Amino acid sequence: MHPRTTELLAYLNDQRAVLKSAFDSIPPEMRDRAPSPESWSASNVIEHLAIVERRISILLSRLISSARAAGLAAETRTDAVLPTLDVARTSDRTTRVNAPETAWPTGLDAESAWEALESATESLHKMVASGDGLALDAVSHPHPALGPMSIYQWIAFIGAHEARHAAQIREIIPS
């Protein structure tokens, strides 16, 4: 596996552990309850992540497939990818970001939401593997808030997005 792929998968796994810890910190009987009418429950947050990650995986899979068909070169760089994305900005919760309606949760319960996220993660890992060894920083797609991002940056964004929502879940913890 290429070092850049290894770096990104390790980052995704680390952020998933942070998310799982936050989710597990919410008592099971409270995971489906929103702390207020205008807030999401922990289950809602997890379902949102599942929706977003599945959609991003589909998009990036298409981009990789098209780039491969167009003769995308092999990756020759081994420098780190994470410093090329403002991870702190993405995971910072001081600026509220409203998800597009297409990424809003539908009301899955906690167990179903986590299963949906795990399923989306399988798709994500397949997408990452499909681009292993290709120069994925040569392929970009705009993010609505962050502007043009390479496929590498999109993958890193997924981890930072999970970190952002892990913080959101920690805000739900009852006192």
User: What is the pLDDT at residue 45?
Assistant: 97
User: What is the pLDDT at residue 82?
Assistant: 92
Residue in this structure with the two tokens 């590498």, named with its chain if needed: 152
pTM reported for the whole predicted model: 0.93
- What span, in angstroms and rounded, lies between the C-alpha atoms of 133 and 36? 46
Structural domain harbouring 39: 3-172
For the segment 39-78, what is each residue's pLDDT rounded down to a tens digit? Answer: 899 999 999 999 999 999 999 999 999 999 999 999 999 9
User: What is the pLDDT at residue 98?
Assistant: 82
Q: Which residues of the chain have pLDDT under 50?
A: none
Task: Give me the sign of the Cα torsion angle 154, 80, 167, 108.
Answer: positive
Task: Give me the sign of the Cα torsion angle 59, 60, 64, 70.
Answer: positive
We report the CATH number of the domain holding residue 97 as 1.20.120.450
Alpha helices in 70-109 (DSSP H): 87-91
Cβ neighbours of residue 113 under 8 Å, at least 6 residues apart?
A: 43, 44, 46, 47, 50, 105
Residue type, 27: P
**CB neighbour burial string for 31-60, b if at least 16 within 10 angstroms, e if fewer:** bbeeeeeeebbbbbbbbbbbbbbbebbeeb
User: What is the pLDDT at residue 175?
Assistant: 54
What's the domain count of the chain? 1
Neighbours of 5 (CB within 10 A): 20
User: What is the pLDDT at residue 87?
Assistant: 77
